Structure 1
């Protein structure tokens, strides 16, 4: 099977899907962290995963924006 380069429609669909999954995972980890914070008085690994994921996301946006200039 040969890999094909994504056309504009496929790229648009991939961008929308990635955005929706990012929002879902961010909200799910945030809600899970808040539930643990209120029930146990501390956050667990899910909050660390949320923070690291957001750092990676925003750092990569800055990296690719500078690379495009």
Structure 2
């Protein structure tokens, strides 16, 4: 079985799918954590998962931008 390299259209589609997935999970966790905070007055695990996911996203973004520009 031979694996072919992705062309520009496939790269674009993968990027869009990843962005849409990240946006969905971010909004879903934000709504869930906000609801939970209003209901119980405490932050749950969903808020921690949301913050860790956002940190991973931004640190990865910074890493690759520095890698490309240096």
Matches of 1:53 and 1:2 in 2, distance apart? 34
Matches of 2:4 and 2:34 in 1, distance apart? 43
5+ residue gaps, structure 1: none
5+ residue gaps, structure 2: none
Deviation at 1:5, TM superposition (A): 1.3
SS of the residue aligned with 2:42? Answer: coil
Matches of 2:25 and 2:2 in 1, distance apart? 31
Residue of structure 2 equivalent to 1:65: 65
Residue of structure 2 equivalent to 1:3: 3
Runs (4+) of structure 1 exceeding 4 A deviation are none
The two structures have a TM-score, normalised by structure 2, of 0.94
SS of the residue aligned with 1:3? Answer: coil
